[in-house]
Structure 1
């Protein structure tokens, strides 16, 4: 994605004769309009910033990881704040090319290399790539390595679930190489990028339920206060507190490790007394999703460290594993 004038080119598709048809600024306009509608002064954003976040949004789809990556960019851009981060996340679908046409999705670096030549002369994109020696020869890239470096290959994939899928797939390839030696080729079937109509319907329904639960959690939490309107404003403008409130709601206001209630007033006034724990340590599960998170007292999270609930509670911490399991069952009823 390039931030440029409306007549500039940011991508293209090919027609039935394999000739490139250049796409103008449709996606760029959607991004710009979306952020402006969210109250962002788009003209203050730099070209490098637009390129940077477009790269991030392309590589990742999981909201938690997107937020993590955007938070890390605060040190690079003085104008990056929570309002801008929330606006980017709320309009993340605008960064996608929505088309049934056969689009060739190249990296930003490759697009910048190809576009000047394609503007000057009609040339098929793959021919131009070969002409410029821009095709990646993986035989040469990994020539000196006996096995595929699966960690290095997946290191730029931000989504933890996708990254793990790629790593595990390449581990299988390495196992085949180890057992059978040199092979001419192997096909690894990965999940498709496009969903069919039923999958899209299910995803839309999931997003609807997700939004509904988030709203219900905030309303339930704020109803515990006489000044509910000001509390709601505070909660909705602090994404970290919003997540804590949602977990509080899912857990019926209980710390399942300690077996103790979490008072809404305490969570609001003393938020540092409570932390969000990865139920199965992220270093093991590589799962940063909400289903792998729980709200607990800070001392519980600090004592648990990188252990599972079973390991942690069977060491004598909290209310014990059996009591926790019974509490969770009651919450789920």
Structure 2
């Protein structure tokens, strides 16, 4: 079943990832504001989409029998693990070469290679792969939790999953990230079981979205201010911005679909190649950015080139990689 609205939403989330990972732009105030907004909800949005698709297409058979659970995990492992190591190989090789000529924020070293197996976000050379690592662990434990909690009311389950996000879990095997993002996966699953989406489709975006953007900005000012907030308060504020940003994104996508906007078609394409773009976007965007950094002396012109063309290469290079891999048959179904 093809869910156009969800695929377009995924494409929008992928676009946010590419823009949010652009290098050498933190000196630009406008980009810093955009980046703060992106980081206030884009990864929870990914988790909600994953949870929604799990609830819509897989949950019933996965939690109903051990065979269904085992087959589901095998399928996900076959999809994620080869892609994980291929990304490590391609980006590791690239960073090893580039590292001979310039310093890198996340260089390829023996330590960073080791951390790719423990927690990519805590010192790996391809930090964004934490999402695949974390999602695979969630696929492992979430059906078991749902089986355990199946008689508990949804309101109580929501509190339980939200409570898990506050637990001081170890960073080994991304358990801290699993705890932090499990609640968003659950919310996506919950939405798939309800009729909320059909109700949201009757809403008009303009007034609601404006209020959401203003509120997210205010909350992010608080989160990133010099005011000393405890980790629990920050986590609560992050939860609010994540839910608001995800909800606002879906309303905006619905508006694009109603208007038959070019952006809806564009994000639909990105959604189709979303897995590949997520894996390889930094290969295209960072490679171009380093070339521009060395060749273009004028900062303003350099920033414009990086923003436009690094975004473009961050999208096109991964699509090209998928087509090449499929053509030469390294994998029958690459990703």
The normalised TM-score by structure 2 is 0.24
Structure of higher CA gyration radius: 1
Report the TM-score, using the length of structure 1 for normalisation: 0.24
* Larger strand percent: 1
Question: Comparing both structures, which one devotes a greater share of its residues to helix?
Answer: 2
